[in-house]
Amino acid sequence: MTTPRTGLDDVDVVFLVHREPPELLARHHAAVASAVGPGWRGRALLVENAAAPRTSAAARAHVRTAYPAADRRVLSSPRNLGFARAMDLAIDACRGRYVALLNSDGEPEPEMLCRLAEVLDAEPRAIWAAPAVHGPGEDDDPPGPPRPAEELGGTALLLRRAEFLAAGGFDPAYFFYNEDRDASRRLRAAGHLLLRVPGTRFRHGKAGRTARGVLLREWHYARTVQVLVPQHAARPVAGTAAFLGRRLRAVGTHLRERDLPGAAGIALATLELPRGLLLAAARRRRPWDGARLTRWLDRSRAEVGEL
């Protein structure tokens, strides 16, 4: 029988920032502070990923005031490392049994982190636990008991730190988007369990994007998914051919909806398709794993300054 939890001091929380407005960070940290509770003594790790000055200033102020008893640290990178690389370095710099990854444009319910930790406590085979994610474009899972999942998005996750790093963490080849889908597939193939916990929620805002933001989103997503599909397809040639057919239809849909930035982002990514196919083939021959992550971390820790 699992001992009831009395706190979250064995849970560290990573706060990744880039260009977020201060008012968004204020809402995020107010919700996270409620979720970890007063007196939380885990590690509050702020990762400044080529952060704008006003974003950095606001994030540091919130971490300092919202978690006064926490072990507060800052990792700062002068260049944008992308999500996978920044998170691998952050998880490596944490020390807790569990690590929470929470998108800065969302807000956890007050009991969310405790509930996810209880689920991992009770199921040692599970390496990730994620809440229901509610918001525009999300699945909005109805409440229910924890259940196995084939994939879990990186929007809001609680993970077993040591086990996740030993399994390879996130593959640094995925700069932004689809690193969570790749990791989900590798983790399940290694025998780990992923759990959706729809009885608790993370509210994901997804503020509107400018035309430039839409172009960048579609470009980043398209250039990583064209690695993911051939890397993990049971029949790479047939899977890639089917994927390219879907891509042509997607571009057509964007054009019909007069979403020129979205169509342009996908088209630009397609110019990188040969590189993506070569990378996918390399990962099929030599899959990403814990040993490769360890070597990558040894080379990459010097890229970020710790404060």
pTM over 0.85: yes
Closest to 90 in 3D by CA, of 100, 80, 104 = 100
Number of Cβ within a 10 Å radius of residue 134: 15
**What is the pLDDT, as a whole number, of residue 211?**
86
Q: pLDDT tens digits, residue range 163-188?
A: 999 999 999 999 999 999 999 999 99
**What is the pLDDT, as a whole number, of residue 206?**
61
Q: pLDDT tens digits, residue range 115-148?
A: 999 999 999 999 999 999 988 766 777 888 999 9
pLDDT, average across residues 30-46: 96
**What is the pLDDT, as a whole number, of residue 136?**
74
pLDDT, average across residues 78-101: 96
**What is the pLDDT, as a whole number, of residue 2?**
59
Q: Is the pLDDT of residue 303 over 90?
A: no
Q: How far are the Cα atoms of 114, 122, 198, 247 from residue 4, in angstroms, in the given order?
A: 10, 10, 20, 49
Q: Is the pLDDT of residue 208 over 70?
A: no
With H, G, I as helix, E, B as strand and everything else as coil, classify residue 220. helix
**What is the pLDDT, as a whole number, of residue 43?**
97
With H, G, I as helix, E, B as strand and everything else as coil, classify residue 299. helix
Q: Which residue has the tokens 């920044």?
A: 86
- Sign, Cα dihedral of 304, 45, 115, 41: positive
**What is the pLDDT, as a whole number, of residue 4?**
76
CATH architecture under which domain 11-207 falls = Alpha-Beta Complex (3.90)
Q: Is the pLDDT of residue 1 over 60?
A: no
**What is the pLDDT, as a whole number, of residue 307?**
73
**What is the pLDDT, as a whole number, of residue 135?**
80
Closest to 148 in 3D by CA, of 195, 188, 116 = 195
Q: pLDDT tens digits, residue range 249-301?
A: 999 999 999 999 999 999 999 999 999 999 999 999 999 999 999 999 999 99
Contact status, residue 293 vs residue 169, Cβ threshold 8 Å: yes
Q: Give me the chain's average pLDDT, please.
A: 93
Closest to 9 in 3D by CA, of 47, 33, 43 = 43
With H, G, I as helix, E, B as strand and everything else as coil, classify residue 159. strand
Classify strands 71-77 and 305-306 as parallel, antiparallel or unpaired: antiparallel
Q: In DSSP terms, which residues pair with 195 in a beta bridge? A: 129, 148
* Continuous segment of H or E residues that includes residue 76: strand 71-77
Closest to 14 in 3D by CA, of 92, 130, 79, 112 = 92
pLDDT, average across residues 9-25: 95
Contact status, residue 1 vs residue 33, Cβ threshold 8 Å: no
For residues 187 and 3, give the distance between their C-alpha atoms in angstroms, rounded to a whole number. Answer: 27
Structure tokens at 80: 């944008």
Q: What percent of the chain has pLDDT over 90?
A: 83
Structure tokens at 15: 């706060």
